[in-house]
Amino acid sequence: GFHARVRRRLEDVAYGTTISYTDLASQAGRPTAVRAAGTACATNPLPIIVPCHRVVRRDGTLGGYRGGVAAKALLLDLE
């Protein structure tokens, strides 16, 4: 379903780049399902392999991350 489509789109987010939850939802086929896109990221069983840390809020702030916001910031800084 939608969560699987979101996770497939996450695989296309290039190393060192970010995408907004809004854009991710649109690319997965449901532009108004921003919260559902966030839930798909939060329940990602492979958060490093399928790079959900590259998804940020539309205003550029980090948003949440399963491993904590500090871990998300560290991963993004490493890239």
52 labelled catalytic: yes
Cα gap 78→55, rounded to integer Å: 15
Which among 52, 54, 56, 65 is annotated as catalytic? 52
> Amino acid letter at 56?
V
Virtual CA dihedral for 3, 19, 35, 47, nearest 10 degrees? Answer: 50
Query: d(Cα 7, Cα 45) in Å, to the nearest integer?
Result: 10
Question: Which residues are part of the catalytic machinery?
Answer: 52
